[in-house]
Each structure stands twice: as C-alpha cells, then as structure tokens.
Amino acid sequence: MMSAEHKFQEKNDNILKSYFADMHIHIGRDLYNHPVKITAAKNLTLTNVLRESSRRKGINLIGVIDSQAPAVQQEIKNLIKEGEAYELEDGGIRFEHVILLLGSEIEVYDDECQGPLHVLCYFPTLAKIEIFSEWLTTRMKNITLSSQRYYGTAKELQHKVKELAGIFIPAHVFTPFKSLYGKGVKSSLKEILDPDLIDGVELGLSSDTEMADQIEELHDYTFVSNSDAHSLPKIAREYQEILMKEPSFKEFYYALHQVEGRKIQRNFGMNPQLGKYHTTVCVDCLEALSPRDDKCTSCGSKKIVKGVFDRIKELANAQEEIVSRPPYIYQVPLEYLPKLGPKTFEKLISSFQTEMNIIHHVPHDELIEVVSEKLADYIIRNREGRMSIKAGGGGKYGKIENVD
C-alpha cells in the first residue's frame, strides 16, 4: 500500500517543471540615464534586461541585484502602472515570459573580516525591498549605485535580510578580490557569517561544483551559478535549471532548500579554466606562477594574483565522500563559439526564438538548415559540455580553442 506521504510526493512531482534561472544581473543605467553599475553597459537598463531575458535568452527567472536603487524600483513601478508587469502572490514580478526577483549585491567589510566580500540579498516584494533600501541609507553612503560598501557587520545584515523574509547568498565566493574565501575569511565562513542564515552559495566564473566541494563546510549548501552580467549579451553565461512549480520567490527559496522535490537540477557554467582568475599569475607579465612564489619568476614583479584553483587547494579539507550534487555542465553562451558572428547569431534567433532553445533543444538536422555543419557541431558539442579550453588567469579570460 502506498503511504500518504508517498502519494503526496508523486502528485507533487507531476506538477514540478524545469525552468532556467540567472540570479545575478546588474543594471548599467536607470530611467533617468544615471549610472547604477558604472562599469556596466549603458543599454543595460531594467526594461532591456527584462526584454532580453524574456524574448531572446529564454530565461524564466532572473535576479536583478541592483534593485535597492530607488530609480530601479521606480522603473518597475512604471512598468506595473502601464500594465506591462505585475507582482506575484508568491513573490517576484512577472514581465512577459520572465519572472524578476528583486535583489541587492552588497559589499561587506566588517572588523572581523580580512577584506571586502560580496553578498546577494533577495526580497519577495517591492514593499520589502523598499524597507531594506530605507535601512541601507543609514549604513551606506549611496544606495543609488551598485555593490556599494556597507558599514556594519555581515551578521547584522543577514538578520535584517531574514527579518524582511529575504534570501541571503554569498556571491562568487572564491574570486581573489571581494569574496568570502578570496579575501574575507582565513579558513571558515563562520568567522564572518551565521551559517544558519545562508540560503545558498554562488560559485562564480572560476569555480565549479567539484572544486567547491573540496571545502567541507560548503557541503551543507545548494550551489548557484549565475552570470554576474554587466551587459545584455552576458546574461545567462552561467545559469541553472530549477525544478519547481513555477518561477517565483517562494519556489526559488524552496528549491534552494529542497522542499518537497524542488531542487536545482543542473548548473550550467563556463569551464572554470575560462574564468579570469583560474590560475595564479603575475599581474604585470601574466607569467603562470606557483602559489608559493612570492615574486614573478619571469619579470620579478611582486604583484601576484592567486588563482581560484590554488586558493581552493589551500582551503581543501573535505573528508567525507563527495555529497550528491546536480551535474555541473560546462557551457559557453552562443556568442563565445568560434565562427559565430553577430549576423549568424541573429539568423539563429530569428529561426529558433531563444538562446536557451538553441543551446538545449534544436536538433542538429534543423541547425544545419540555418548554419554551417561546423557551427552546428560546435552548438551540439557545447550542449554536451565538450568544448576545449585554454586556461585564463590574472584577470584575463581563458579561450575556447578552435578545434577542427
């Protein structure tokens, strides 16, 4: 006989579906054409992010992490007033085919930590993030700009986020500057954070699941992989597939905590070797170095950036068998593929609608009606995580190798 619990599980499984999500996207300019993330593209406005995600990327859930800026909130309110967007009961804002979660990336630098680190905070409603923004004005010089320095302790921030029913995720945790393990802590996140008030951990472009699981304390958390996009084309250069009822704030929270079958099914990201900080290198001449070198063996410079790979090796302490994790699939956005210029990209989009559709679904025989056999091969190879890579380091991205 089937237990009641089992029956419920089965019924529940039937209504869970897969959705693509990218939870770390910046804003370049607000509706007054003022900068938000100064280094981001001028056309990276909230409205353009929503349109690009819904119409061309085919992403179902996005996090805009400059939403603490009052002008960004105003732009959302305008869309709601014009009937182009509306707030969901379970949190989040629908625009066409995409659901927007309101987030904020914050730079923490409290007395207990070694250096600045970035964290991501998400809130269910406009009302809640407005309260958060109000609170931030007492702890931040300028809330209209992206990723600003917050004056207070990280734990205080965690408590505020939880008080407002928010989600708290340390960002790109291994990057050499501005991250938890890169600069923040010496060995354990408990030095700075309350481990019970963390909802997930963002891997960042230079690491993947297997690398991160070398650190035992991370076994307790769900890993997210996001783009940190500073321009429209970079949206969804990393993302995840989430099994949930529908995209919303509540369902995203459930997926992070694996409530009743919701979960992250697959992480998609660039091979860590493509990231800017994979290997340890000399900043001046980019010579690859050993993490033990205190000056460059080629030019003698003392400016060395320790790569993520070497930093993780230093921290590695996992004893137990690797925890069960969703697969991490190495992929690049279509624009990174060799032989894929802007014209071909437009041709693909007009034939097959969205980038997610092209990356995941269009079969080879349909691809070759639109693009060359070689490019169709690259697309399939990318779908399966089989591209060859030349490693990056010291702020220089790795490269896809032209394989013939």
Give me the residues that bind Zn ion (CB under 5 A), please: 105, 118, 171, 228
State CA 9 to chain mean position distance. Answer: 30
Question: Whole-number minimum distance, CB 178 to Zn ion, in Å?
Answer: 6
User: Shortest Cβ contact with Zn ion: which residue?
Assistant: 118
Question: Whole-number minimum distance, CB 360 to Zn ion, in Å?
Answer: 25
Instruction: Please say whether the beta carbons of 184 and 112 come within 8 A.
Output: no
Residue number with CB closer to Zn ion (118 or 306) = 118
Question: Whole-number minimum distance, CB 269 to Zn ion, in Å?
Answer: 15
Q: Which of 117, 116, 151, 97 is nearest to 353 (CA)?
A: 97
| Amino acid (one-letter) located at 113 | C
44-71: b (≥16 Cβ within 10 Å) or e: bbbebbbbbbbebbbbbbbbbbbbbbeb
Residue number with CB closer to Zn ion (171 or 304) = 171
Residue number with CB closer to Zn ion (23 or 171) = 171
Question: Whole-number minimum distance, CB 116 to Zn ion, in Å?
Answer: 9
Q: Report the alpha-carbon distance of residue 389 to residue 392 in Å, rounded.
A: 9
Residue number with CB closer to Zn ion (40 or 85) = 40
Residue number with CB closer to Zn ion (171 or 308) = 171
Residue number with CB closer to Zn ion (105 or 287) = 105
Question: Whole-number minimum distance, CB 25 to Zn ion, in Å?
Answer: 8
Q: Which of 297, 292, 271 is nearest to 282 (CA)?
A: 297
Question: Whole-number minimum distance, CB 276 to Zn ion, in Å?
Answer: 13
Measure the CA dihedral 65/71/72/73, to 10°: 100
Residue number with CB closer to Zn ion (143 or 171) = 171
Question: Whole-number minimum distance, CB 66 to Zn ion, in Å?
Answer: 9
Question: Whole-number minimum distance, CB 278 to Zn ion, in Å?
Answer: 17
Instruction: Please say whether the beta carbons of 239 and 20 come within 8 A.
Output: yes
Structure tokens at 18: 């897969």
Question: Whole-number minimum distance, CB 297 to Zn ion, in Å?
Answer: 31
User: What contacts 319, CB < 8 A, 6 or more positions away?
Assistant: 216
Structure tokens at 282: 């000399």
Q: ∠ CA(14), CA(19), CA(24), 5° rounding?
A: 145
Q: Report the alpha-carbon distance of residue 200 to residue 383 in Å, rounded.
A: 26
Q: Which of 59, 58, 99, 97 is nearest to 354 (CA)?
A: 58
Question: Whole-number minimum distance, CB 107 to Zn ion, in Å?
Answer: 8
Residue number with CB closer to Zn ion (274 or 362) = 274
Residue number with CB closer to Zn ion (118 or 237) = 118
Instruction: Please say whether the beta carbons of 46 and 90 come within 8 A.
Output: no
154-170: b (≥16 Cβ within 10 Å) or e: beebbebbbebebbbbb
Residue number with CB closer to Zn ion (109 or 352) = 109
